Amino acid sequence: MRSFLSFIGGAVALLALLATVPLLWVSTHIVEEDGYVAFSSTLAEDEELQGAFAAYLADELAARGVLPEALAPVATTALTRVASRTSNQPGFVEAWEKTQRNSHRSAFAEPMPRVLGVDVGPMASFVAKRVSGALPVTLAVPDDLVVPVVTGAGDREAVQRIKETSRQSRIGAVIALVGAVACIGFARRKSVAAAGLGVGSVAVAGLLWLTSGPATQRILDHTEAPSEFARTLQKLLVDRAADSLGAWLVIVAVMGGVVAAAGLVGRAVGGRS
């Protein structure tokens, strides 16, 4: 009976770990405002995003009559050059972080707005001030320069579900801990139970790594993109999320390997005794 209860505890712990790791990542990197800003701040230096942002800004200013349409291609080139040159300057990074912080607050506001967008005004103003000398006109950035990113009702429902990950990850962590304690507590051979949990943790990390790629692709396939800049931003965020989660999975696998090795060593020592 004790062996059966130990097995059940271990299975519950590993299943809870399988669900909790991605939930905890989403909670700390997406739901928490500071975590999201820190996670997304590296995008400011991405050349693909800079080019997409410059093209969007030039087209938007031309559409609003701020910039003559004939100058849009020239402005795009100049804006891209300035964005890449100033991306490592504190002012640019701060402007991007302010943009992301405003966007996060809008996305998780109550009630949720009908259209979720990125307020690129701070970053646009920073770049426009430094590019005006290269153009025959002065670029005046409007105050309400918001890029729609999520417009579908289904995508807004997904954002609503993301809000629940903080509570769900805490519950999952408690279940995983209780299951692990029960697994070792009921086990007749504690070292064997620990080794089993360690090997199981490595398997969980491997399974999540195998499924994260297709999962991220499904997110992109089922998320609407009102503009090329929105699509580029979505793609880069999803790619960075996959890389960041992958780093977490490496840590889980290494820790599981250490626990498994410790359990096997303990079993060997106990057997000789």
Query: Structural domain of residue 197, as residue ranges?
Result: 2-19+176-272
65: left (phi over 0), alpha (psi -120 to 50) or beta: left
Same domain, yes or no: 68 and 46: yes
Q: What pLDDT shows up at residue 24? A: 94
- Residue 47: is it exposed, middle or buried by C-beta count within 10 angstroms (0-12/13-18/19+)? exposed
What are the residues facing 7 on neighbouring strands? Answer: none
Do 49 and 112 fall within a single domain? yes
Quote the pLDDT of residue 134.
62
Residues 193 and 239 in one domain: yes
The verdict on pTM exceeding 0.85 is: no
Q: Identify the pLDDT of residue 267.
A: 74
Pick out the chain residues at pLDDT < 50: none
pLDDT at position 255: 95
Q: Are residues 96 and 193 located together in one domain of the fold?
A: no
Nearest to 10 by CA among 202, 198, 171: 198
153 plus 265 within the same structural domain:
no
Domain count for the chain: 2
Is the domain of 37 the same as that of 153? yes
Q: Residue 98's pLDDT is what?
A: 83
List CB contacts of 141: < 8 A, sequence separation 6 or more.
61, 66, 121, 124, 125, 128
Residue 108 lies in a domain: yes
- Angle, nearest 10°, between helix axes 165-186 and 153-163? 50
The pLDDT tens digits for 149-176 are 665 556 567 777 888 888 999 999 999 9
**Alpha-helix residue ranges (DSSP H) falling in 27-89:** 33-40, 47-63, 72-86
- 3-state DSSP helix/strand/coil % of the chain, to nearest 5: 80, 5, 15
Contact 133, 217 (CB under 8 A): no
pLDDT of residue 251: 95
Q: Does residue 143 share a domain with residue 36?
A: yes
Rounded to an integer, what distance in angstroms lies between the CA atom of residue 201 and that of residue 199?
Answer: 5
Half-sphere exposure of 233 (CA within 13 A, CB side): 26
pLDDT of residue 42: 79
What is the reported pLDDT for 79?
A: 74
Give me the helix-helix angle, 47-63 and 121-131, nearest 10°. Answer: 80
pLDDT score of 109: 74
